[in-house]
Chains A and B, each alone.
Chain A
Amino acid sequence: MNDALQKPINTKVIKELLDINDGARFRTWLSICASCGLCAESCLFYLAKNKDPKLSPAYKVRATLRELYRRKGEVDREFLEKCYNIIWGECTTCRRCSLFCPFGIDISVMIATMRGICNSQGIVPEGLLKASANYRASGNQMGMSTEDFVDTCSWMAEETAEEIRGLDIPIDKPGARIMYTVNAREPMYYPQDIAMVAKIFTVAEEDWTMPSTGWDSTNLAMFAGDKALGGQIVKNMYTKALELGVQAIAITECGHAYRSALFEGPYMLGYRSGKPPVPIVHSVRLFYEYLRDGRIKIDPDKMLKQPVTYQDPCNVSRNGGLWEEGRAIMKYIARDFRDMTPNSIYNHCCGGGGGFIPMGPEFRKRRMESGRIKAEQIKATGAKIVITPCHNCFDQIGDLNKEYNLGIKVVQFKEVITEAMIIPEKFRPVDTDDEEAQD
């Protein structure tokens, strides 16, 4: 939080937001909850904190949004501060509770709405505000300039071309089949991620391009409850895709980017159809298709031999419908795959979702506490490698690894696939000795 705490509350804005959202769904959800408490057992915060009844999803909505409706928006800053701790500090909007609710009440939507209301009063975690400022200035969460991004791509293309003949990272190629978008952390901190995916695309002979704008598909403004900015971020990506005339936008191994691009983006932008203008495909689906269709072949000797488990990102599996694809990929790359319990659609959030990772140090302690559930799940599998197609899961499990001494390695699919795939003859680098001989 920040200086906004000192400012008076703008009740008018709160009332407006309450009114806009006062539809049939919210009315039904808020009035029919039978207080059965079934949602409690679904929640990682509840489970991690000794089953504190205050952490049941139903209570979190009652203490925040329902109370706000009851008071017709007439609340003070102290109330919103209390909400702040609940909606950002005790919920990752993972939507597991909705699967446990007899009425399928969508708690995460109500928490997200509450975030929007707090946002309207400037009450937002510092980390998300910083990221939002970066998006505004540069279109990406890291504040990276277009030149830096394009340079990073060229640099990676140059470096990697030594390993894979003919490798290129096309920028703004019109009419490409797919436009690949990344998490801004990749060009900033993990440029090798871009190199890896370029290798996969080259070997799969994919017709792809990187866009020079709208390349960051993450959307931390969505987690901050900033609908206008969240919509703008998605729009940058849609606009570029339409301009290039690509057939689909591919999303890097990131959970919330998929949620933003495919499911929430159209609504943040107020599209009546509720659908994005260009099809969206997640890396998990794309990689699965390459393997299934034999466009990428795995060298059996290079399959992972150590025990492997899979962290289902909430926004890829439970809320993205790709839990089977993730496991199908495992069959190609891992000899000893061990699922966590529970898994797939019922998998627990790692504790890093919903904006938790970028929310920064203020929330770190809570993040480690609630992550205990995930740490125990991983430990129980005996896995030495955790694969997860999500940057937030990746960071969170990396932190949990240190905090709980898990002795594991966290990787994404692209890393494993790149290392284990067979490079066909035509893509193998020309032997330098031969070149010299020819000279």
Chain B
Amino acid sequence: MTTMALPLTAARSRSSLSVLAWIEAKRFARHPMFLVGLGLAVWATVVIGSGGPASRGEVARGPENLDFQVIPGFLVGVFGFVVAARLTRSTSRSQEVMRGAPLSDTVRTAALCLACLVPMSAGLALVLLHAAIVTSDPPEEWIYGTYGSLEQVVIVGVLPVIFSVGGPLLGVAVGRWLRFPGAILLCVGILLFWCAWAAYSPIESMDASSPLSRVLHLLTPYTAWGQADGDGDVPSTEFTSFTGSPVWFALWALALCGLAVCAALWRGAEGRGRVIVGRSFVGLSVAALVFLGLAAMGGNDEPMVTTPDGVTRVVQSE
């Protein structure tokens, strides 16, 4: 060891948050689980964007194309959820010494939230990749069902980005609040079950036009907006557009992202910061409920089926 003799003073500035966020962003980007999720998402984007296995035959590009908004964003979001939660909890073993540092828990949490720009950027890159694929070989118009131009842009271009960042933000909140062993795994299980059930079941198994069905369909952050009837061997011959408004749903999902940030920041916040976070949480909760209501009331009143010849009809409830 050498003798310590440098009376240095820590250079203080307000840029600590950005420095810490940059470090966390690098940790996020290098995390093996994020890279696996991103790899799967790229694969899904290429396969689905290229038409998918069901497009073989006379239909050039199948309506599975629209499912793009769910699958790649879901992969980045769910893998990102795990990564964010693990990164958040990774420093818990050093909590004692970190609490003695001038940067507060709130700043550290904010840095982790900012690091979620990494999966968000990944989501954006996937959208651009998808755009490049469909631009080089445009799909037929009918695959977008009853959705208009704005709704198409939201479903294909905006929601994947929100999905990609939403999961990781929720992961930060979970990492901050749930410390018991297996908490992350349990949350992933609940998330997968809820998404798998709520995205499609309300449409398929109950009166699709009922208020309960419409709200349930929108309650999952990774909901689907359409369903094709094809499978790996048979090309799709119709596409079902679901109820609700994708545009208002995007705002609802954004509000959920904000709520996740507030929930994460609330833990350990002190003084004025705690008041600001608390008020933001209340404000965003109100906004989220309003957006959810508008998403449920807007858009299609009932699921609509569109066929390659452009004919659209209401789905008959069983």
A and B co-occur in one complex: no
Residues of A bordering B, CB below 8 Å: none
